[in-house]
Every structure is written in structure tokens, then in C-alpha cells.
């Protein structure tokens, strides 16, 4: 639809429809209900990815999960957006400290103290970064 009509500048679309998967026993395919949310734009903006995450949060909040839930996201652009708050000359050092933080499972206060030693890094920047749990392996391109 978007490829055929060049007048689209920005399009948001919800789709809830069945998708079909082959059956292990053969015969009729299995129908599974699938929900999709798309944002199409001629300009890439971090706000679009943030909106997708917000929609995901709203959808998951609609279900009565018992206990604590975690969202595991794996996208380099999210990490890039977080690191964009730091001065360009400090991004690699900040990334290295995040890797050390996740590998050694040390406290955030220790990681924050090391971040604050870097020139140009403020407490507000550290507080913003703290909102994201960097568990698991982090990979930085370049």
C-alpha cells in the first residue's frame, strides 16, 4: 500500500489477523492470531521506536500476568539512542563501563561513580542510563 502511493509521509497501522503455520501432522495449516503495529515514515526518528515500545507496554499491561514481568529487547538502535545523551568522545568509554557492569554484576553506584569520573558526564545522564537494565551481553559495532 505504501509502495504504491507516494503521498504517504507517515502511516500508523494496527493489524490483528490470523497467520498460518504448517501443521506437524500435515494437512490443514494451523491458524494463530497475530497482532502487528507498524509505523511507516520517510524520516527515521527514535520517537517512532519509542512509540512502538510504548504500544508494547500498553498491550502487555492489558493481560493479567501474575508476578513480575520483564521485557527483553535486542536492538542496537535503542542502545545508540541511550548513548546519544553522552558526549561523542565519551560514548566508547561509557559503553565499555556498561559491558563491565553487566559482566561483573556490580552495583550501579560503583558503575555510576566511574561514569561520573569521565569529563562531560553528569549525574542526570547516569540516572537516565540507570533506567535501563543492561543484563546480558552487549555488542557495540565499530
Same domain membership, residue 122 and residue 83? yes
Q: Is the pTM of this model over 0.85?
A: no
Same domain membership, residue 15 and residue 51? yes
Residue 134, pLDDT > 70, answer no
Residue 31: predicted pLDDT: 92
Structural domain includes residue 47: yes
Number of domains in the chain: 2
Q: How far apart are CA 85 and CA 88, in angstroms?
A: 9
Q: How far apart are CA 91 and CA 98, in angstroms?
A: 10
Structural domain includes residue 26: yes
Structural domain includes residue 141: no
Q: Which domain holds residue 41?
A: 10-61
Confidence label for 142 from pLDDT (cuts 50, 70 and 90):
very low
Structural domain includes residue 18: yes
Structural domain includes residue 21: yes
Model confidence pLDDT, tens digit, residues 33-43: 888 888 888 77
Mean pLDDT, range 2-15, rounded to an integer: 80
Same domain membership, residue 92 and residue 55? no
Residue 57: predicted pLDDT: 81
**Is the pLDDT higher at 114 or at 140?**
114
Count of beta carbons in the 10 Å neighbourhood of residue 135: 11
In sequence order, the β-bridge partners of residue 27 are: none
Model confidence pLDDT, tens digit, residues 18-71: 999 888 888 899 999 888 888 888 777 778 878 888 888 888 888 887 877 666
Amino acid at each position: 500500500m505504501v509502495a504504491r502511493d507516494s503521498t504517504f509521509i507517515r502511516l500508523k497501522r494496527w493489524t490483528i489477523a490470523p497467520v498460518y503455520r504448517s501443521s506437524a501432522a500435515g494437512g490443514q495449516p494451523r491458524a494463530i492470531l497475530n497482532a502487528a503495529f507498524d509505523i511507516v515514515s520517510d524520516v527515521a526518528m527514535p520517537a517512532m521506536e519509542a512509540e512502538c515500545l510504548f504500544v508494547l507496554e500498553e498491550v502487555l499491561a492489558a493481560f493479567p500476568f501474575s508476578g513480575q514481568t520483564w521485557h527483553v529487547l535486542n536492538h542496537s538502535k535503542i542502545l545508540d539512542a541511550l548513548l546519544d545523551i553522552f558526549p561523542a568522545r565519551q560514548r566508547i568509554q561509557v559503553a565499555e563501563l556498561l559491558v563491565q557492569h553487566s559482566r561483573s554484576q556490580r552495583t550501579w553506584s560503583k558503575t555510576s561513580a566511574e561514569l561520573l569520573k569521565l569529563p562531560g558526564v553528569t549525574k542526570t545522564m547516569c540516572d537516565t542510563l540507570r533506567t535501563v537494565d543492561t543484563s546480558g551481553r552487549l555488542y557495540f559495532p565499530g
